[in-house]
Amino acid sequence: MVNLDNSNETVFYIPFEGSDEEQPEIGPEKSELDALDGQKMRWDAYKTSWVKCLNRVQALVHTLYEPVVKEVVEKIEIAYDCDPEILSALPYPELPVIAVTNPSTDSLFLSSVISKLSDENQHIVAHLYPSDCSNISNAMKSIISGFTSISGAFKGSSRSLASYDIGVLESWYQAQDVPPSKLVLLLHDFEQFDPGVIQDVIHVCSLNVPRIPLIFLVSLSSSQSPSSYFHTAYPRSTLKQLQLKSVVVPGGPQVFEDIILKTFVDLSFDPDVVLGPATLEHLTEYAARFNHSVDALLNIFQLAHFKHFLLNPLTALVQSTPSAIALEDTASSTFCDILMTRLNDSMELDSDTENQNNTKTIPVLDMPKIIDGERNKFRSRVREMRLSYRLLRLIHEFLLARGYKGLGPHWGGSPSTLNATPLPTSTAYPRLQIFIDLLQRDSSENSQASKDIRYARILLAKLKPEELRAFLDDLIQYLLGLPDEVFDELDISDVVGVLGKWLEEADAAYTVDEDESNDVAVKKLAERLAKWISEYLRTLTNSLEEASPLWDVWYTGMAPFPSETVNPSVRASVLAGLLRPTEFTEANDVDGTGSKPNADEDDDSLWRLPDTSILFHRYLESGKMINVYDWFESFHAVLGLQRREEAKEKEKKSSPNTRKGRGKSTSPKKRRTALKSPVKLNSKGKAREVTQEDEDAAEGSKDDGFADDEKWKLVVQARFIRALHELDFLGFVKHTRRKPDHVLRTVFEVSE
Amino acid sequence: MSDSESSASNLSHERYVSEDEQPSSPSKKTQKQRVVGQHREMIVQTAFDAYFTHISSRAQTSSNVFSALIPPLSAEEYHEASSSFGPLSLKSKILTSESTRISLFRRMFLEMQEGFNVMCYGYGSKRTMLNEFAVNTCSKAGHVVVANAFQPHFGLKELLACIEKVPGIDSLPLPSSSMENQSRRICEFFSRPTQKRHLYLVIHNIDSPPLRLSRAQTCLSLLALHPKIHLVASIDHINSPLLWSSAELSARKGNQVEDIELSGRGFAWLWHDLTTLAPYDFELAHADRSSISGAWGSGHKRDAATHNGATMVSETAAQHILASVTAKAKKLFALMAEKQLEAIASSTNAGPADDLQQYAVGYDTLYHSARNDFIATNDTALRALLGEFRDHALVIGAQQGSSGEVLWIPMRKERLAKVLSTLKVLE
């Protein structure tokens, strides 16, 4: 076995000693509530649902990127095929540079470009990272070896050129049996390159084109137009050597929102697990504040799935139901019991008090069927929810198109004004926010979604006859265009029937000569339609949590997203660990069952804390600069108190009745002195006084010998140095040479 | 990364809003009082305020100088004192409850299988915990490499060399022995479809100075995004999350890697709070305990204030030196020690200032005493005897104003007394 505690070694290797065939058991922790093989079922269910979601998002992103990928590849293809007549006017050939702006900074786009280039077009792609380019010779070396290492065969011992000489690349290129048509150099994170180095690289390379068909593919992430970065960072002397073309990859908040909506709000795709408002809200906030790349989005989706399946044993039922035999097994008895209670409860609620007597109504054999039924029921409820979003959007867009205001500013303006003025909403993702509102609609009528539905009703009731006809027409067309399964499942044909009848009525009223009575009829019709729509929307948006007794299998609801796993507050955690270490202990977790000697006493007293915490408390009380000596003295005072208190406690334990009075009389005063901040101990006299007092007290109460006192001093100093070094290690201390033996504070958190 | 600052200000804002929405109270007077109370509560001091308060004020500190007033601890003294530190008084839940630990380890392992790397933060040494994870969980699934990056002589090169101990890696060609090529070769090796075993890299303190360099970060980011290489790392410095860009933090591992270059670079961290409250004794084992700035290894220059670089001499060191000198030299040492002890004992100013220079004996005084005791008959002889001690830093000399050179033994009084008594016994 390797001794990992050997302080002379810095790295240890623990070889794997099993056989290659055996695979470690992977799966979530076994829960008591799991069914037979529940662990594995949950894990499999997780894999399936996550892969489904992942594939959907990736497919969406691919469709989004495809035209741009094509554009980039085309630009590379034609890079040196320009009209010779245009080029002939130039005194020297230009180096083709294709600048790609990819605001979402994920590798998906570039990797699809590269695979297209190297697979279909037989170009060679080399990569250059900012860290390779500390100076020109390193940069050239990386570029040359990037190309030459691909073929592998180029290793002449007779090579006399320096490894950074571009001549190496040229001779390598000429030595190829089938020379690649283009050499594409991909520069990652271009903004991070040193422009001075890159200027030289460009100069060297441009001298050698088109003998070496080099093309620079530059990846930028700044959101303004790619060429403007070149124009600000590089002088004209460099720019004149370039033939700059720019491509912008779609990205940014709108695209991000589109992807989410097409994954979770689209009627043509059913995710296995529906994310609840809590997760979606966290997602919008995270994206708006930190990062709206596709990678970040996928990470959050994956973690939400991961957590959902990890914590809830019932999630084994997400896609499939175990057979009745598996459910009857004794191993799944607890699992079955939960299911039974859940299903029974809801049945009792449904049928009120009719069959109260038979508590255990469902036989296990029927269970799979019931669960399958619940699954279908829930799926159709989710579809209804999404349909409601689509219908409201349809209403809004119809109203906008007719020149009305629509359902309000949070629904977005008309397409023509959309780009001109920024949305007057507080959230960066207004469309997603509406869906979140719909998910959260409750019966209280005060939620945003309820208000929207009410408002839609008012507006629809005021439609003019001709508009009413057009609206009904639009609505029917939209409903008829729904995917077949949705159409069948949600009984849309009935809805279309009703709407069709109204459309006929509206037609009739409109075609007959204009008449008072017709106007009234149309008005009534509009009111009827508005009322019907608002009621229909209300049914569609009933809370998903009430959709099924097993709703939490397919829906994450209000379960919070584990945001600290992607966006931790490291600083706050370290500070909490130092300021309130007791909060992290088990005793604090299990309502203090006497694991501490004095649970009844004031546990917050400073002297009970570990040394580093004591020192840190003192640190927070000081000014921006700390005199190490005074810091030490204040620490010393607390340790003195700690020593006396501990001795007292020991005494109390051994003889509970003796020397009680003395302890009482000294303790409060001493505590006060000891808790004085180091700032107050600043003047030398005072500091002396306190320590003197301390030492006297220590000597008096303990009657220790001379040597013991000396030893104590050493221990205090050692403990101080150790705590100081720990704080230094954690980054709380900055050393300064401004004043001897002073340190600077780096953290200014308030201790409360 | 940290939200604490903004959350503090949010908190105050929220409080304000929620109280504003309260229904108004019946009488106007109480209402007014409440408003005042609200405002008082509304002003919650945040870290920003604290920062500006401190920065705007002049730093007033006393003129005490720690290293001048308190002699630095020698390594032996520290070691001796550390034996009385006693056991850890507070242990976090993760250390005491095995079930919590097991379920956390299981979760971390699952997350790694799902394409994330695990990062542990929180106060307290996480070394033993992660080692346990490495030995009990990771080593059952694949090759494990554990790196103590906090050690001062650690370098990424060593880590890469250690990974190459995995059988088979060194059979692949290495174009040049640069770190980038080494990491690329490692990735290539693990990309081979025949390579079933994964690699688990456990890095203690990935925020240590050698790994903060951009070159090291590049190599690590290449390894970290490989689907068959999993990273478990710990950080302790409060600002270490600033090491990585958002893109690096959220990068994702591909499912399979055909080409290393296609895979992108990043870390894909998932963060776990692993507060243990355990002391950093192992991490700081190399620290120079005699200096207040010794936590970051010997790379730092010693504080100029520690006198002439003199450190305290331990008892054993003194005895070793004394055993190899002549009898006369021993006598001289005994003489000096007695004088120094006398001076300490007679001093009324017994404050914390253990500055031994104040108990030093003047060269002239010493010369007279030595001549009287027939230790050294002339100046040259005395200097020769002292030379031996000075070479071993058992005697320190300094020029002190007009009184000429003064000499003292850099030992605490009780130690000195002990050495003196052993000397006398030997005689």
Residue A40 binned pLDDT confidence (cut-offs 50, 70, 90):
confident
> Which residue has 């669960």 as its token pair?
A371
Chain A contact present for B4, CB below 8 A: yes
Strand ranges for A153-197 from DSSP E: 183-187
A251-281 pLDDT, tens digit each: 778 888 889 999 988 888 889 999 999 999 9
Contact state of A630 with B62 under an 8 Å Cβ cutoff: yes
- Please give the pLDDT value at position A178: 79
Vertex B28: Cα angle to B24 and B34 (nearest 5): 60
Q: Which residue of B has its CA nearest to A575?
A: B123
Distance from CA of B297 to the nearest CA of A (A): 10
What are the chain A neighbours of B50 within 8 Å (beta carbons)? 748-750
Amino acid (1-letter code) at residue B128 = T
CB nearest B144 (choices: A14, A131, A573): A14
Contact state of A107 with B123 under an 8 Å Cβ cutoff: no
Q: Which of A570, A585, A598 is the best residue to mutate to test the B interface, defined by the most B CB atoms within 10 Å of its own CB?
A: A570
- Please give the pLDDT value at position B42: 63
Portion of chain A with pLDDT greater than 90, in percent = 19
Residue A195 binned pLDDT confidence (cut-offs 50, 70, 90):
very high
Contact state of A306 with B111 under an 8 Å Cβ cutoff: yes
Residue B145 binned pLDDT confidence (cut-offs 50, 70, 90):
very high
Cα dihedral angle (B206, B212, B213, B214), rounded to 10 degrees?
A: 90
Q: Is pLDDT above 90 for A85?
A: no
A452-486 pLDDT, tens digit each: 888 888 888 888 888 888 888 899 999 988 888 88
What are the chain A neighbours of B158 within 8 Å (beta carbons)? 10-11
3-state class (DSSP) for residue B391:
helix
A124-128 β-sheet, strand order: A124-128, A183-187, A214-220, A95-101, A242-248
Lowest mean pLDDT among A79-88, B7-16, B205-214: B7-16
3-state class (DSSP) for residue B62:
coil
Segment B382-403 shows an average pLDDT of 83
Separation CA A227–CA A220 (nearest Å): 10
- Please give the pLDDT value at position A194: 92
Contact state of B289 with A722 under an 8 Å Cβ cutoff: yes
Q: What are phi and psi of A718, to 5 degrees?
A: -65, -40
What are the chain A neighbours of B241 within 8 Å (beta carbons)? 568, 570
b/e burial code for range A300-328 (CB count within 10 A of at least 16 → b): bbbbbbbbbbbebbbbbbbeebbeeebbe
What are the chain A neighbours of B300 within 8 Å (beta carbons)? 735
A53-77 pLDDT, tens digit each: 999 998 999 898 999 999 999 988 8
Residues 33-52 of B with CB under 8 A from A: 45-51
CB nearest A566 (choices: B197, B270, B292): B270
Q: Who wins on pLDDT, A171 or A152?
A: A171
Q: Is pLDDT above 50 for A598?
A: no
Chain A contact present for B92, CB below 8 A: yes
| DSSP states of A121-156 | S--EEEEE-GGG-SSHHHHHHHHHHHHHHHH-----
Q: Who wins on pLDDT, A473 or B34?
A: A473
- Please give the pLDDT value at position A159: 60
Amino acid (1-letter code) at residue A703 = D
In the numeric block, which tokens belong to residue B218? 């590049």
Cα–Cα separations (whole angstroms), residue B306 to A719, B65, B290, B392: 19, 10, 9, 18
CB nearest B121 (choices: A290, A570, A630): A570
Contact state of B264 with A111 under an 8 Å Cβ cutoff: yes
Q: Which residue of A has its CA nearest to B111?
A: A306
Separation CA B245–CA B253 (nearest Å): 16
Residue A196 binned pLDDT confidence (cut-offs 50, 70, 90):
very high
What are the chain A neighbours of B352 within 8 Å (beta carbons)? 633, 688, 691
Segment B143-157 shows an average pLDDT of 91
Portion of chain A with pLDDT greater than 70, in percent = 80
First-to-last CA distance in chain A? 47
Burial of A111 (0-12, 13-18, 19+ CB in 10 A): middle
Residue A669 binned pLDDT confidence (cut-offs 50, 70, 90):
very low
Amino acid (1-letter code) at residue B223 = L
- Please give the pLDDT value at position A751: 55
Distance from CA of A199 to the nearest CA of B (A): 22
Residue A136 binned pLDDT confidence (cut-offs 50, 70, 90):
very high
A733-735 β-sheet, strand order: A625-627, A742-745, A733-735
Q: Who wins on pLDDT, B410 or B227?
A: B227
Q: Which of B158, B212, B219, B261 is the best residue to mutate to test the A interface, defined by the most A CB atoms within 10 Å of its own CB?
A: B261
Segment A345-349 shows an average pLDDT of 69
CB nearest A740 (choices: B65, B215, B352): B65
Q: Which residue of A has its CA nearest to B151?
A: A10
Q: Is pLDDT above 80 for A31?
A: no
Which of the 8 DSSP states describes residue A68?
A: H
- Please give the pLDDT value at position A24: 64
- Please give the pLDDT value at position B242: 92
Residue A109 binned pLDDT confidence (cut-offs 50, 70, 90):
confident
Closest CA to B268 of B387, B398, B69, B119: B119
Instruction: Assign 3-class secondary structure to A662-704.
Output: HHHHHHHHHHHHHCCCCCCCCCHHHHHHHHHHHHHHHHHHHCC
Q: Which residue of B has its CA nearest to A681?
A: B62
Segment A427-438 shows an average pLDDT of 85
Chain A contact present for B334, CB below 8 A: no
Q: Who wins on pLDDT, B236 or A25?
A: B236
Distance from CA of A267 to the nearest CA of B (A): 28
Separation CA A49–CA A225 (nearest Å): 39
Lowest mean pLDDT among A331-340, A375-384, A554-563, B299-308: B299-308
Q: Is pLDDT above 70 for B348?
A: no
Cα–Cα separations (whole angstroms), residue A310 to A87, A337, A535, A600: 63, 20, 38, 39
Lowest mean pLDDT among A12-16, A141-145, A217-221, B72-76: B72-76
B362-376 pLDDT, tens digit each: 888 888 888 888 888
A729-742 pLDDT, tens digit each: 999 998 887 787 88
Separation CA A128–CA A606 (nearest Å): 55
Mean pLDDT of the residues in chain B:
79
In the numeric block, which tokens belong to residue B395? 């005697």
ipTM, two decimals, is: 0.83
- Please give the pLDDT value at position A697: 43
Amino acid (1-letter code) at residue A439 = L
Q: Is pLDDT above 90 for B392?
A: no
Q: CB A480: neighbour CB atoms within 10 A? A: 11
In the numeric block, which tokens belong to residue A362? 């469902």
B405-408 β-sheet, strand order: B361-362, B405-408, B396-399
Lowest mean pLDDT among A117-131, A287-301, A500-514: A500-514
Cβ–Cβ under 8 Å, residues B67 and B305? yes
Separation CA A286–CA A296 (nearest Å): 9
What are the chain A neighbours of B145 within 8 Å (beta carbons)? 11-14
Cβ–Cβ under 8 Å, residues B105 and B120? no
Portion of chain B with pLDDT greater than 70, in percent = 81
Separation CA B341–CA B343 (nearest Å): 5
Segment B294-318 shows an average pLDDT of 56
Q: Is pLDDT above 80 for A563?
A: yes
CB nearest B295 (choices: A9, A571, A725): A725
Cβ–Cβ under 8 Å, residues A72 and A100? yes
Burial of A267 (0-12, 13-18, 19+ CB in 10 A): middle
Mean pLDDT of the residues in chain A:
80
- Please give the pLDDT value at position A630: 92
Q: Who wins on pLDDT, A260 or B177?
A: A260
Separation CA A190–CA A97 (nearest Å): 12
- Please give the pLDDT value at position A210: 79
Q: Is pLDDT above 60 for A509?
A: yes
- Please give the pLDDT value at position B272: 94
Separation CA A241–CA A192 (nearest Å): 21
Domains of chain A, first to last: 66-250 (3.40.50.300), 376-554 (no CATH), 570-590+603-652+679-745 (no CATH)
- Please give the pLDDT value at position A202: 93
In the numeric block, which tokens belong to residue A452? 């929207």
β-pair partners for B119 = B233, B271
Among A189-198, A219-228, A359-368, A730-739, which range has the highest average pLDDT?
A189-198
Separation CA A124–CA A147 (nearest Å): 7
Q: Is pLDDT above 90 for A220?
A: no
Q: What are phi and psi of A578, to 5 degrees?
A: -85, -40
- Please give the pLDDT value at position A752: 52
Biggest CA pair distance of chain A:
118
Chain A contact present for B105, CB below 8 A: no
In the numeric block, which tokens belong to residue A189? 């994170």
In the numeric block, which tokens belong to residue A208? 């050698």
